[in-house]
Structure 1
Amino acid sequence: MDILKRIQNDYLFLSPQEKKVADYIMRFSSEIKNMNIKDFSLKTGTSTATVTRFAKKIDCKNFSDMKFQINSLSVPKVQFQTKGISEDVFNYYQMVIKNTQSLIEMNKLETFIRFLLEANQIIIIGLNSSGTTASTFSNRLMRMGLPVVSYVDSIDMVMRGSIASKSDLFVAISNSGTTECVLDSFKQAKKNGSILTSITNFSENPLAALSNLDLYVYSTKFIDNQKFINSQFSMVYLIDVITTLLLGNKELHEKFTQTRETILDNY
């Protein structure tokens, strides 16, 4: 696993000062090449001691070793041009898709597809913006004829977890993997023997720790442009990949086509 992926993996467990170092590296990795530790600490608003501690926390010997590993990736800086908003957004989407694609593990996706096809009931949960993504994913699966329901209310998802069964598949969508009501729903479902899967921005988080299978995507907080606020784009990209894989199943494809034609013909 390369150093940038290790930083995203461990991000939730960093101190506030260490997160400043991580944020700078994830946003400006191509600018670190000629910096010494003093210049770097000034850029990040931290101390040389914090930088050294951070380097060791992500399994580097020291700052020089960390810088060498970052430079060895040869990550080009994405320039957000001033040719117009549409091109800025296009550049942003390209970066998010490219970085999320690098995190996808096909063996995990294949296991996730198997879980979806074998479940007696699929329960997808998420809160706020992640709840919108949960509803979108649920709608996709429903149109293929899969037994699915989504819960975006905190009380509802916890209640559903309390009456879960071993044949249920829970899918949690959460950027941080730390949302309390989502965790509570998972804890209840785990007691009842359900299969638990999660989609988050970090592979190391409380929700992933509870999961039988965890998928994670690129966190848009690492994009060097604060104008873009679509925190769910990388999630939706992964859902598109999963949907496309499912539609390779002839029966699911036929049902998806049937539901689409029904809507087009009548509404």
Structure 2
Amino acid sequence: MSQNCIGKIRSNYARLSEKEKKIADYILDDPDKIIHGTINEVAEDLNIADATVFRFCKRIGFKGYQAMKIALASEIITPNQQIQEDIEISDDDDAKTIADKVFQANIRTIENTVEILDHTAIQKAVNLLLYSNRVEFYGTGGSAVIAMDAFHKFVRTGIKAFAFIDSHFQLTSASQLTESDTAVIISHTGTNKDTLNILKTAKRNGAKTIAITGYPKSPIAQHADVALYTSSEDNEYRSEALSSRIAQLSLIDALYVNLVVLNKEKAQRSLEKIRSTISETRM
């Protein structure tokens, strides 16, 4: 997959430091300056050190300034540079146009998340889930819906999976976890107080922890055993947290399918039991 420089900048923007945002704005305002300029010229224009520009390039996923410059040049001479403008919703848009733009924005959220996906972390998460006696999914607010969707999927794998909507029930359940269990904690910002308490409780009991969040420097990401990140953007009609859910669901799907592939017979038996039970209740 080609590296989308502008997409990387926009998807990481909320997590950047003030100096890094200054560089990001400089690039987004006039990409040609980067394509035709040197790292020294950029640093001089912004009154910052060359090393700061270099660290910015690394922060958004490039090996250095030259690699970012090549990716940006390739992007600018293609229609991809119009994507952001094309998905901005206008008050004059009709129903079909708005629907098209929403779908395009969701596609882009997933594409940006794939670009920042850490495959080593995915493998670690799969291993934790595969060898857990019990897996619990936690999230508050909108993330609670994602946790319930995860439960709906994972209960079909044959693994003991659980999720609760109420935050007090979640905390109570986390207090019963053991070293053989895994807690999957979902929070876009990674700073929610209730979710942090659940994470601390799970870790105190020796349970393994997996975080799904949009912020690598958040407390949840920093303290979980494995952290998986999503990328999203906000606009006038939909917050960043709302748009992140499509990426969170996709991450859950990726973990679920990995487990089914590795545990086919157990998953098949579990699915047959579910189907049989549902069929009996309908008779």
Give TM-score scaled by structure 2 length. Answer: 0.70
Query: How much does 1:162 deviate?
Result: 3.3
Q: From the superposition, tell whether residues 21 and 150 of structure 1 become closer, same or farther in structure 2 (CA, over 3 Å).
A: farther
**Structure 1 127/74 Cα, relative in aligned 2: closer, same or farther at 3 Å?**
same
Partner of 1:59: 55
Match of 1:182 in 2: 195
| 1:15-41 CA distance string (max 9 Å, x none) | 5x976876x68xx94x531469xxxxx
Aligned partner of 1:32 among 5, 19, 30: 30
Aligned to 1:259: 274
> What residue number does 1:135 align with?
148
Q: Which moved more, 1:202-211 or 1:105-114?
A: 105-114
Q: Using the alignment, how far apart are the partners of 1:32 and 1:257 within structure 2?
A: 58
Name the Cα RMSD after superposition: 3.6
Please state which structure has a larger fraction of its residues in helix: 2
Where does 1:62-73 land on structure 2 (aligned, <5 Å)? 68=69, 71-72=72-73
SS at match of 1:84: helix
CA separation of 1:60 and 1:114: change in aligned 2, threshold 3 A: closer
Q: Check whether the contact 2:213–2:228 (CA below 8 A) recurs between aligned residues.
A: yes
Change beyond 3 A, Cα 1:220–1:60? closer
When residues 142 and 12 of structure 1 are mapped into structure 2, their CA distance, relative to the original with a 3 A threshold, is same
Equivalent pair of 1:171/1:199 in contact (CA under 8 Å): yes
2 CA distance for matches of 1:68 and 1:131?
Answer: 40
Gaps of 5+ in 2: 35-44, 58-64
Corresponding residue pairs, total: 244
Correspondence for 1:84: 97
Which residue matches 2:221?
Answer: 208
Aligned AA for 2:87? F
1:199 equivalent in structure 2: 212
Name the aligned partner's letter for residue 274 of structure 2.
T
Q: Which residue of 1 aligns with 2:39?
A: none
Tell me, yes or no, if the aligned pair for 1:166 and 1:192 is still in contact at 8 Å.
Answer: yes
The percent identity for this pair of structures is: 23
Three-state SS of the structure 2 residue aligned to 1:263 is: helix
Q: Deviations over 1:195-250 (max 9, x none)?
A: 111000122211011111111111233xxx43345331110111122222222231
3-state DSSP class of the match of 1:170? strand
Distance 1:7 1:172 in 2: 25
Q: Which one of 156, 161, 184 corresponds to residue 148 of structure 1?
A: 161
- Alpha carbons of structure 1 residues 9 and 86: separation in structure 2 relative to 1, 3 Å: closer
Residue 116 in structure 1 maps to residue 129 in structure 2: yes
Using the alignment, how far apart are the partners of 2:220 and 2:201 within structure 1? 13
State whether residues 200 and 215 of structure 1, in contact with CA within 8 Å, keep that contact through their aligned partners in structure 2.
yes
3-state SS of 2:109 partner: helix
The answer for unaligned runs of 5 or more in structure 1 is: 37-47
Q: Secondary structure at the match of 1:247?
A: helix
Q: Report the Cα distance in structure 2 between the residues aligned to 1:106 and 1:205, rounded to whole angstroms.
A: 20
Indicate which of 226, 229, 232 corresponds to 2:236.
Answer: 226
In structure 2, distance between residues paired with 1:213 and 1:115: 9
Q: TM-score, normalised by structure 1?
A: 0.74
The SS at the match of 2:75 is: coil
1:57-92 per-position Cα deviation (integer Å, ceiling 9, x unaligned)? 87249xxx6984873572723122856222112211
- Verify the 8 A CA contact 1:9 1:204 in the aligned structure 2: no
* Counterpart pick for 1:107 among 120, 127, 132: 120
Query: How far apart in 2 are the matches of 1:157 and 1:13?
Result: 32
Local SS of the residue matching 1:74: helix
